[in-house]
Structure 1
């Protein structure tokens, strides 16, 4: 029984460490911000919300190469989303990121994309 409890605690710690803020790439001094947005969605009881953001946005174009993508969880208790870079990103002119909330929690994330 103790082993099951220890495994559950270990998995909970891993889930907290995996969620919240994420970074892909490294920003240099010559980079400019091409996207700086805050995304907020209220909590939905007993539901996981999945939100995507793309660079460039629909009906937009981007000729600059992305150097870094920063997602900052605005919740102070690390109850933020699990973030996944689906395709593109640093080294490309496009990117798609998936943000998946924890069950029953909202979303409050600021994302910044740097390019050169």
Structure 2
């Protein structure tokens, strides 16, 4: 019986690791929204695409320390990208996030970045 529980916990961890929506950090009531942006890219047939989202964006500046980054998958069937925080993030003034789409699917993600 313990083996079944351990297998279920392992599968739950794998599902969380590959979820389309991701969160890094926690925001407080004193934090303000730095970026609230929806990003969409069309699908390319039989190709898994890789996109990067940088904070601050090109030719922009950010003097606020990031406290939380939320990526919300806007597809209703959880077929969104696998997200990875490459560098920076909470506690820094910059971040870079890599998003890899599933083969043959596009990108439809909302970013919300909090900081103070």
Place the TM-score, normalised by the shorter chain, in its bin.
0.7 to 0.9
TM-score with structure 1 setting the length: 0.85
User: What residue number does 2:50 align with?
Assistant: 50
Correspondences of 1:15-26 after superposition (within 5 Å): 18-26=18-26
Deviation digits for residues 45-100 of structure 1, max 9, x if unmatched?
11011111111111111111000000000001010000000000000000000111
User: What residue number does 1:80 align with?
Assistant: 80
Q: Give the alignment's Cα RMSD to 1 decimal.
A: 1.9
Residues 17 and 90 of structure 1: CA distance in aligned 2, closer, same or farther (over 3 Å)? closer
Pairwise CA distance, 1:15:
5.9
Distance 2:17 2:25 in 1: 19
Structure 1 residue runs of 5 or longer lacking an equivalent are 1-9
Number of equivalenced pairs: 106
Contact (CA 8 Å) 1:16, 1:78: kept in 2 or not? Answer: no
Distance 1:16 1:62 in 2: 30
